[in-house]
Structure formats: structure tokens, C-alpha cells
Amino acid sequence: MALNSTPRRRFGVALGVVLTGVTAGLIGFAGVASAHTPQVSAECKGETTVLKVDLTQYVVGKNGKTNHVKISDGTTVLEDKDFQQQYKNTFKVSGEVAHDFTVNIKAWDDPDRKHGWTTDRTLHVEACVVKPPTETKTTETTTTTTTTPEVPPTTVTTSSTSSAPVVATTTSPAPPAAQGGPLAETGASIALPLGIAGVLLAGGVGALFVVRRRSKA
């Protein structure tokens, strides 16, 4: 019984050592796997775009080395700084336009990116505010064109031989003045003709008297 108990004890001790080593390795692996936890998110909050960066469980730098984070919104740098075990910040930008965020994380204990602790995260967020389309008013202009018909030119033919019309003018004698009435006013005085007639009549009577007197002698 004593001989059999000794190998069993040795076997038990060896098995305990192996299990302890495996357990310690698993615990160490779990610790390494759970470290260097980057959490980055971007979303719309109402009419604002919100970017959250939460870096936890990073290892404190040694020999002048440290962890570093650079955060950009397109070409605009929002943050560019070193940090120790963790970094946490929230950025709020306008939601009227789309955004392309870039988060560059450098872990001092992963310079070659072998463990994935040094990494780059890129996030795209569409505009949170959708503007209504701009109404364009179109004014229709109606142009009325009035076409005046062309009037053909008038051709006037003139005869080379033309006879002037003969107009016969008939002058009606003025009606005699009423007997015993005043002479009609013609615009010319009749006293002179009457005087001349009186003189001629007197001369004729005188001549006739002289002729008769001579014939009797």
C-alpha cells in the first residue's frame, strides 16, 4: 500500500501543477484579451450629429512611450492628444450635412498593429436634417403677335389725252324790280347812268326843236 501511494501522490502533484499553469495562462489570456477596448459610435440625436469615443483598459506607457488618439471630421481635426489608460469624449456637430469621422488609435505596446490595439475607425453619418426641396416658380409669358395683312400697291393709270369737261353756265336775268317799289340793292350806284340818260335825252329834245324850227323858216 505504501508503494502504491507514493506514485499516486506524485501524479497528483504533477497534475495540480499542470492545472495551475493552465488556469494561470487562461486568466492571463483573458486579461490580455479584455484589455485595450476601443468603443466608437456616431449617430443623429435630433438635428445634431453626435460622435462618442471611449477607449478603456489601455496600458500606461513606459520609457517615454504613451498611447495616442487623433479624431477628425473630414479635414477638420477635433482632437489630437496622448492618453494613459483611457480616453473618453463626446463631440456634437451640425446635423445639416453628412459627416465622415476618422478615429486613429495608437497603442504604445502595439506599434506594429499585430494585436489590433493600434487601429483606425471610420464612421459615416448622413445629414440628420432633411431640407424640403426649394420650389421654383415658373412664370409663363404668352406673346401675342398680330400680323397686319399687306395692302397691295394701288396703280393709278393716267391717260395722256384728257378732255376737260365743258361746263355750260346759264345766267338767268334778274327779275325786274316791282313797279313803284325801290330798286334792288345791287351794290352799285345807278345815279350816274340816270344822269347821263337825262343829259342825252335833253340834248335830243333840243336838237329836235332846232331842226323843226329851221324847217319852218
Chain segment 1-18, per-residue pLDDT in tens: 444 556 566 656 555 544
- Give the tens place of pLDDT for each residue, 33-82: 447 899 999 999 999 999 999 999 999 988 889 999 999 999 999 999 99
Structure letter (DSSP) for residue 79: E
Q: Residue 202 and residue 40: Cα distance in Å, rounded?
A: 159
- Count other Cβ atoms within 10 Å, centred on residue 129: 13
CA angle centred on 166, ends 160 and 168, rounded to 5°: 175
The rounded Cα 17 to chain-centroid distance in angstroms is 83
> For the whole model, what pTM was predicted?
0.48
Query: With contact defined as beta carbons under 8 Å apart, do 91 and 51 qualify?
Result: yes
- Using only C-alpha atoms, what is the Rg of the chain? 72
Query: With contact defined as beta carbons under 8 Å apart, do 55 and 38 qualify?
Result: yes
pLDDT cut 90: percent of the chain above it: 40
- Count other Cβ atoms within 10 Å, centred on residue 71: 22
Q: Please determine, for residue 194, whether its predicted confidence score (pLDDT) is greater than 70.
A: yes
- Nearest CA to 49 among 102, 127, 118? 127
Q: Residue 91 and residue 51: Cα distance in Å, rounded?
A: 5
Domains of the chain: 36-130 (2.60.40)
Q: Please determine, for residue 166, whether its predicted confidence score (pLDDT) is greater than 70.
A: no
